[in-house]
Amino acid sequence: MFRRITSFLIFLFLLSVTPGLYTASDYVAVVIKSRGRVTLMPKGKTRAIKVQKGQLLRDGDRLETGTASFCAIKFLDDKSLLRIKENSTCVIEGKKEGERIDKNILVEVGSFFASIFKQRGKFLVTTPTSVASVKGTKFWTIQKRNGPTIYIGIEGSIDISNEAGRVLLRAGQTGIVTSKNQLPQIRLTDPSEIPSEGEGSPKTQILEIEFKSPDGGQKTMRIEVIQK
């Protein structure tokens, strides 16, 4: 009996001093939906685990979806949403500053839909070609393997920057970045190019048209286009 008690006390001591063990304050996001083959490679680990609904995520965790697979995560501070389509890989970075989480999605390949609500911390998407900084918006990031990055503005605006400079992408526009040394090529979005937001979700697009009113003021008309 004495040996059992001693072993248990040693085990508790190791738990208290072993680095890499986490508390609730270390979590930055949670998986709210998972379908098919979705795996998580925790930061600092060499073995991936299967992701299920309710999986909590920490800074530096790497997510990967297989063919016909899907994953959606929600950040814990402001409930911002990230949908990860099939055959996609990214690293979730989240740095806590008080009650806010500064977020950075390190995109390696695939398609990602971000929906930002009452934003608290920064929300960045970093790809091999550029960095997108967003506020209160919805947009797609599509990273081709060994190819360009495509941003599709659905609502709000996106600030895209790289070594060539900085541009603003608005709702209803598509930006194509071929390399980190070239600015995005901006054009109107073809609605047929917009991926679905999730399982069975219709495609939505917000078009913003600026015009002058009769009194000379600047107005913006917003039109929502839904494709079923």
Cα(209)–Cα(215) distance, integer angstroms: 18
Q: Which of 12-21, 47-56, 77-86, 139-148 has the lowest mean pLDDT?
A: 12-21
Ordered structural domains, the chain, with CATH: 23-199 (2.60.120.1440)
pLDDT in tens, 67-103: 999 999 999 988 999 999 999 999 999 999 888 999 9
Cα(210)–Cα(218) distance, integer angstroms: 7
Beta bridge pairs of residue 222: 208
Cα(225)–Cα(188) distance, integer angstroms: 14
Mean pLDDT of 17-34: 71
